Structure 1
Amino acid sequence: MTVGVDEVGRGCLFGPVFAAAVSLTGAADAELTALGLTDSKALSAKRRADLVPHIQAKASAWALGQGSAREIDAHGIRVATELAMLRALQKLPIQPELVLVDGVLPLRLWPGAQRTIVRGDSQEASIAAASVLAKVARDGLMCRLAERFPEYGFERHAGYGTALHRQALITSGPTALHRKSFLTRLFPRDDGLR
């Protein structure tokens, strides 16, 4: 079984990084491509949401994983991303024979065969499907967390460092789910961030 993996949320200031692992047969690959499956960044939120049930139904296997903000702060974003990918891969019912990893960096924690593919989410349907599942899952979490932390507007920017988010950080300070290691680079000590 060949599995594509991708992540979402690496550059966010808030919340976990998500990853998904997806295995598609040739027929499912063609069907999903015909439905418009491509890199999640090239799709509208509605289109991504519409594709999720098709991906879940047609995939021979799929799973999600996360790397927490605490893990990001403790180990760095690359390790946390790898942990998220590894967790997704470990949830699959069968160990993959080959893992297709979006990007240039190999999944160091994966003991099996793998291949990195630059812009893989626009070239391999399994990686594109993983990017869609991860994006929709993370965005859903951000909308739920927006109810808990309404002053930050997570439903509008998903935790990325927009002007709105940066202003909310200055006004309200960081939450326990903010990536403190990212904030120290963004806000010098004397800028008023609590």
Structure 2
Amino acid sequence: MVAWEAGVDEVGRGCWFGPVFAAAVVLSEAAASALTAEGLTDSKALTARHRARLVPLIEDAAEAWALGQASAREIDHHGIRRATELAMLRALQRLPQQPALVLVDGVLPLRLWPHSQQTIVRGDSSKASIAAASVLAKESRDALIRRLAERFPGYGLERHAGYGTAVHRQALLAHGPTAMHRCSFLKKVLPPG
């Protein structure tokens, strides 16, 4: 059996609302090539329609995949870097077996992962497993935020996915933060008090 190599990536790191999501994806070389031929790359470089079309292809082609998240409360308590690492760790722990190597997008190592790993700058553009993780994490988080937009109307979440836009800022000033907002991110947005 070939040793597993898992790509991990996160989404929602800079949002004001909701959890940070991560995904871990294990792809064979054949699956990586096939998905790349379908246009798989960094989720930020893809249209929403293209990402949505890729999700079932990734899920079917992957040897394994899993999601993890860290809540707004965990982000406020631990800080965004550690919360992001918790989301990645949770995704990796949900895989059916431990990968021999974890490929982490970016420059910062996954401090909570005590096994072999490699950081790759712009890995979501150069490694199919990381790109696949970015797509699954983005689509899963966006779907959650759309559902939460119904629970928290008036914030425009369905339009900005929880990111810091002028519409979101105005809604926060008008209605105040919800239990799902990252209060540590709002110190410069909301007046003190």
The question of a shared fold, defined as TM-score above 0.5 by the shorter chain, is answered with yes
How far apart in 1 are the matches of 2:12 and 2:18?
A: 8
- Map of 2:55 onto structure 1: 52
How far apart in 2 are the matches of 1:47 and 1:113?
A: 32
- Taking only aligned residues, the RMSD between alpha carbons, in angstroms, comes to 0.8
Residue 19 of structure 1 and its aligned partner are, at CA, apart by: 0.0
Question: Alignment partner of 2:170: what SS?
Answer: helix
- Map of 2:21 onto structure 1: 18
Q: Is the 8 A contact 2:23 2:136 kept in 1?
A: yes
**Aligned counterpart in structure 1 of residue 31 of structure 2, from 28, 33, 39:** 28
- How many equivalent pairs are there? 190
- Map of 2:8 onto structure 1: 5
- Map of 2:133 onto structure 1: 130
How far apart in 1 are the matches of 2:71 and 2:111?
A: 18
Residue 11 of structure 1 and its aligned partner are, at CA, apart by: 0.1
Structure 1: 5+ residue stretches without partners: none
How far apart in 1 are the matches of 2:66 and 2:88?
A: 9
Structure 2: 5+ residue stretches without partners: none
- Map of 2:105 onto structure 1: 102
State the Cα deviation string for residues 53-106 of structure 1 (Å, max 9, x = none). Answer: 000000000000001000000000000000000000000001000000000000
State the Cα deviation string for residues 101-121 of structure 1 (Å, max 9, x = none). Answer: 000000000010000001100
Residue 187 of structure 1 and its aligned partner are, at CA, apart by: 3.0
Are residue 111 (structure 1) and residue 108 (structure 2) matched?
no
Runs of at least 4 residues of structure 1 off by over 4 A?
none
More helix by share: 1
